[in-house]
Structure 1
Amino acid sequence: MTIQYKICSFLLGSLVLLGSLLPAEAANYQSHIVQNDQLVVTTDEFQVLLTFKSTEAIEVVYQIDGQKQLPSFAIADHNARVAGKVTVADDILEFKTADLTARLKKSPFSVSYYRGNELLLAEEKGFFAHETLRGFRFKLQDDEKLLGTGQRVVGMDRRGQRLPLYNKASYGYTTEAQQMYFGLPAVMSSKKYLVLFDNSASGFVDLGKTEKEVLQFEAVAGRTAYILMAAPTYPKLIEEYVTVTGKQPLPPRWALGNFASRFGYRTEAETRAIVDKFAAEDFPLDAVVLDLYWFGPDIQGHMGNLAWDNKAFPNPKGMISDFKAKGVNTVLITEPFVLSTSKRWDEAVQAKALATDLAGKAKTFDFYFGNTGLVDVFSKEGTSWFEGIYNELAEYGVAGWWGDLGEPEVHPADAIHSIGTADEIHNAYGHRWAELVYQNRLDKQPEQRPMIMMRSGFAGSQRFGMIPWTGDVSRSWDGLKPQVELALQMGLLGLAYTHSDLGGFAGGEVFDKEMYIRWLQYGVFQPVYRPHAQEQIAPEPVLHDQETKDILREYVKLRYRLTPYNYTLAYQNSSTGMPLMRPLFFENEADTSLIANKDSYLWGDAFLVTPVTAAGVKSVPVQLPAGVWLDYWTGKAYQGGKTIEQPTDLTTLPVMVRAGSFVPMVPVVQSLKDYSSRQLELHYYHDKSISQAKGQMYEDDGKSPDSLSKGQYELLTFSAAAKGKSLAFEFNRTGLGYSGMPKQRETMLVVHQMAKPVNALVDGKALSWVNSAAELVAGSAYFDASKQQVLLKLHWDQAKARVVLE
């Protein structure tokens, strides 16, 4: 495969002069030109290249003669440019579009950014480069709050923190962690701008910790560039960010199902038994994940084998085929380390696939798993060798790829990669690894969407279909507590499939039944449903007591019933970058106090979820956004704009539904291989305060990588309009359709919280009323007085349909 990063075209100046020193005094403007829609400004100290990537995003690159520059790993389309208009005054140079203005002060040189007349962000010192330290300084405004920087457990507003920019494992973390698996050099402000330091090297981001009014990015090497984005709302700001850094491709639909996973299944017999156990216990299942025992009998000495241990797994191809016939997809762990004791060591060395030492030999070092080398995923040789392994494994029928330890977990500073030292590219290692796997799978299996789980990466990793998780969290209540914060922060910066090892991973010697149930309940309303843990306590719900199984079975089945709703969230994310889990401050952007809320979140637009994160809780405080909210379990209505206590017990996760929401559901299937929306349940949550409402449902074949780009999908749209005692619905559709699309849907419309109407009409034809839900057939309606629900059935074909209740 051709590596995306063609390094030679990105080197600005010498590759060897790393010790450039920029004098402390400020630079002064000398001249400027516009070339190919790029403004190039020359000062007496450096050049500045300003390029609009859209009307609301600008890339700014500072370069000094002789200073090594690495490529941009963040930018998805390096050729994307939008023309800007240049105006010149005595001491000011402006470069602007209709939405964003860069105002360059000539002497001393500095740049500030405006939306209209509103100042968004201004350089303070701006660019600095001193020996092995380089970066940028910006002025902060007194009242702004700062989010972003990736995985950290420090609170939602991160102003006042100084945080490492160095991806690093955080084993057994709980309620505080400043440095974790997936740091991101990007900050989102309550002033509706986002600034991304496009630098992959080891460094820090200082959000007003050292100097209260200064935001500082610093790194030991790497690219001296940043990207400034602005938008009128937070969702639009995220959309701008993913427009520049790349949108997440749709995952295969099965990735939204239930996973069987642990550390780890040791034999083929054990793996087959657990898959059978899910079916026997009536738990839907779509994937089984094999940790490192698939290539070795114990933890140490085998990493890098990456070939089946035939003693433990005598017939892997047959096993995977049998699972596939049941709708269960096999996901394999791989790591980038090749132990010197592994069967592939000599092969990797001869292929020149490994990072080298300063003498040019394969670099070796010790860590927990043994003496090892590290695949150089940046080199042509390392890429080719690693791809060969993935090609071999794909022949067995493997459907998903789990990249572990990709920070990399151990990365000596004197390890040399094809494009630089370990410290220069450390934070982009998982990013490049994800790209390698993604492109390889698309090349070899162009009819399948890649499924790639990885725990580390860089800005823009979402464009390679990366599904991150929050690492080796403590198996405890304190491990559960920060999971909403971690997922929300990652979703703000494009990594919307960030999820946790449900139930917790690390430690734990005694089964905490309540904590386990609460964590797996929360999992229904997060992007990936994957219990995973060390094996001394079973992570799989099917291996626990009857009460635990009975409670969680209904939650897993609810997850499957919600598939059309959840898949629509995936479509929205791939189209606009909108996270699946959404913070409450999206609801009222003027109220910056909402930024602090890390206890509740929105699952799409319809659901407001508040995980239970402490033992013995009988109610949870819920900060309700404006509008009317209904308790999902009881139907009790609450007026929004205040904090309530929502009752809960062990069987009920605190979930609210927004009045005016449409929630599509389908019958439960054992696996999503058998998914169909031919029988569709469409729930509408009515309230007299809602006069107009809209909803949508996205459908495609669940596997084709180009469904969106080719229009091979169906987008169902729903609307409701209330007038007096009449409530009218319209159903419609757009899109070119897809293979296997239902020609007709038997649709059950369920209208919640509504008094019995006199008439129910479909396309002007009155429906007959029946005496029980069991009697419902197409063309009939039923009123459930105990639940205050109107239920009616209709055959909905490809045409528009209209339903009126009056």
Structure 2
Amino acid sequence: MTYCNPCLAPTEDKPNRRRNMFQEAKTMGILIRDQYGQPYMVPNTAFNVGMLDLTHPDTTTWFKNILWEMADDGIRGWMADFGEGEDPIEAHNRYPELWAKINREFVEEWKASRKAGEDEDDDEIVFFMRAGFRDSPKWGMLFWEGDQMVSWQQNDGIKSTIVGLLSSGLSGYAFNHSDIGGYSGVSFPIVKYRRSEELLLRWMELNAFTTVFRTHEGNKPSCNSQFYSNDRTYSHFARFAKVYNAWKFYRIQLVKEAARKGLPVCRHLFLHYPDDDKVHKLSYQQFLVGTEILVVPVLDKGKNKVKAYFPIGEERPWVACLDRGVILESRQ
């Protein structure tokens, strides 16, 4: 798995490049241009980039050729990052849809090119995105929630990923997830956000019940606890990778259901318990996977216990799977 985005940086000073894609795109006239006809350069972290003009008829063919090179090199998945349009009126919402469409068309063309009987294990290919609009779920294969802080925060940390997961699910994004451990760290003299081991372990537990179970080193890898940091992080990651694998049969069922009905894999409880007033007050505290799994993660620093609310509805009993000292509380 690798990475790509529609933003091209000048690489004249990079001796190890295979191609100067920025110069190629500039020469072809497929970069977004300013009022003077020059590439419109956009600040991107510590450097400026030119954005591909996805409305230009030559852009799609050019970029698909890059994806073909990736696939020929053995790549079978990528993060199709960015995709946010620059002009808020003309293209901001349309741009991510076009970005998703180009990537999806390539996937379908690549699959169609595979010879019958060729290695079937090599026929799977996937990409995932963060930017989107109305038609993005039509083209995007998977989505992720962008760059949360490596923190316990409700507004931009581990708790916020559940809010984003459930709200996006209600908006048509059936297959979504977050980076295990978060992404954005800060190392200023006064303000510091560094991923603790405890936060990483809790995020592993949470994401074992989302569509994708995927780690990320973050923007400051050396400051963050990683799944490979020590024996405890290794074993915890292995354990919850097994948990993720254990419900694969159900995940496949939910993916097929999503394709038919649009229901998300991870769901807010009010979808199935609309008459329960207490359910409507829940935000990040717990959620459903399909109709059969109720997930109540530990989301606070230094905590080892949570309370689970079992909603009123169907007569069948809930079966509790206790783990690490969970307290279960039911109104039924």
TM (norm. structure 2) is 0.82
The answer to whether the 8 Å contact 1:400/1:451 transfers is: yes
2:50 equivalent to 1:364 = no
Q: Distance in 1 between matches of 2:43 and 2:298?
A: 41
Q: Distance in 2 between matches of 1:618 and 1:490?
A: 29
> What secondary structure, in the 3-state scheme, does the structure 1 residue paired with 2:144 have?
coil
Q: Distance in 1 between matches of 2:43 and 2:160?
A: 32
Q: Distance in 2 between matches of 1:527 and 1:477?
A: 21
| Residue in structure 2 matched with residue 693 of structure 1 by the alignment | none
Instruction: Choose which of 4, 7, 10 in structure 2 pairs with 1:340.
Output: 10
For 1:71-86, what aligned pairs fall within 5 Å after superposition? none
| Residue in structure 2 matched with residue 469 of structure 1 by the alignment | 144
Identity of aligned residues (%): 27
| Residue in structure 1 matched with residue 209 of structure 2 by the alignment | 525
Distance change in 2, residues 1:456/1:536 (3 Å): same
The answer to whether the 8 Å contact 1:442/1:449 transfers is: no
2:32 equivalent to 1:355 = yes
Shift of 1:344: 2.1
Distance change in 2, residues 1:575/1:537 (3 Å): farther
Q: Distance in 1 between matches of 2:124 and 2:328?
A: 32
> What secondary structure, in the 3-state scheme, does the structure 1 residue paired with 2:25 have?
helix
| Residue in structure 2 matched with residue 401 of structure 1 by the alignment | 78
Shift of 1:348: 0.8
Q: Distance in 1 between matches of 2:206 and 2:139?
A: 27
Q: Distance in 1 between matches of 2:195 and 2:140?
A: 34
| Residue in structure 2 matched with residue 615 of structure 1 by the alignment | 301
Instruction: Choose which of 309, 320, 332 in structure 2 pairs with 1:631.
Output: 320
| Residue in structure 1 matched with residue 65 of structure 2 by the alignment | 388
Shift of 1:544: 2.6
The code of the aligned residue for 1:372 comes to V
Q: Distance in 1 between matches of 2:306 and 2:149?
A: 23
2:196 equivalent to 1:512 = yes
Shift of 1:510: 5.1
Q: Which runs of 5+ in 1 are unaligned?
A: 1-330, 414-421, 634-647, 657-806
Number of residue pairs matched?
299
Instruction: Choose which of 246, 250, 258 in structure 2 pairs with 1:565.
Output: 250
> What secondary structure, in the 3-state scheme, does the structure 1 residue paired with 2:245 have?
helix
Instruction: Choose which of 168, 177, 181 in structure 2 pairs with 1:490.
Output: 168
Distance change in 2, residues 1:547/1:387 (3 Å): closer
Shift of 1:526: 0.9
The code of the aligned residue for 2:321 comes to Y
Distance change in 2, residues 1:544/1:587 (3 Å): same
Shift of 1:406: 1.7
Q: Distance in 2 between matches of 1:655 and 1:499?
A: 26
After superposition, the C-alpha distances for 1:699-723 in whole angstroms (9 at most, x for unaligned) are xxxxxxxxxxxxxxxxxxxxxxxxx
The answer to whether the 8 Å contact 2:270/2:280 transfers is: yes
| Residue in structure 2 matched with residue 437 of structure 1 by the alignment | 103
Q: Which runs of 5+ in 2 are unaligned?
A: 13-19, 115-122, 187-192
| Residue in structure 2 matched with residue 552 of structure 1 by the alignment | 237
The answer to whether the 8 Å contact 1:407/1:455 transfers is: no
The answer to whether the 8 Å contact 1:521/1:653 transfers is: no
Q: Distance in 1 between matches of 2:237 and 2:326?
A: 11
Shift of 1:561: 2.2
Shift of 1:499: 0.9
Shift of 1:442: 0.8
> What secondary structure, in the 3-state scheme, does the structure 2 residue paired with 1:619 have?
coil
The code of the aligned residue for 1:445 comes to K
Instruction: Choose which of 285, 288, 292 in structure 2 pairs with 1:606.
Output: 292
Q: Distance in 1 between matches of 2:163 and 2:328?
A: 18
Q: Distance in 1 between matches of 2:328 and 2:262?
A: 24
More helix by share: 2
> What secondary structure, in the 3-state scheme, does the structure 1 residue paired with 2:98 have?
helix
| Residue in structure 2 matched with residue 536 of structure 1 by the alignment | 222
| Residue in structure 2 matched with residue 459 of structure 1 by the alignment | 134
> What secondary structure, in the 3-state scheme, does the structure 1 residue paired with 2:294 have?
strand
The code of the aligned residue for 2:302 comes to G
The code of the aligned residue for 1:531 comes to T
After superposition, the C-alpha distances for 1:151-173 in whole angstroms (9 at most, x for unaligned) are xxxxxxxxxxxxxxxxxxxxxxx
TM (norm. structure 1) is 0.35
Distance change in 2, residues 1:337/1:655 (3 Å): farther
> What secondary structure, in the 3-state scheme, does the structure 1 residue paired with 2:91 have?
helix
> What secondary structure, in the 3-state scheme, does the structure 2 residue paired with 1:569 have?
helix
Flag the structure with larger Rg: 1
After superposition, the C-alpha distances for 1:263-303 in whole angstroms (9 at most, x for unaligned) are xxxxxxxxxxxxxxxxxxxxxxxxxxxxxxxxxxxxxxxxx
Distance change in 2, residues 1:622/1:521 (3 Å): same
After superposition, the C-alpha distances for 1:122-165 in whole angstroms (9 at most, x for unaligned) are xxxxxxxxxxxxxxxxxxxxxxxxxxxxxxxxxxxxxxxxxxxx
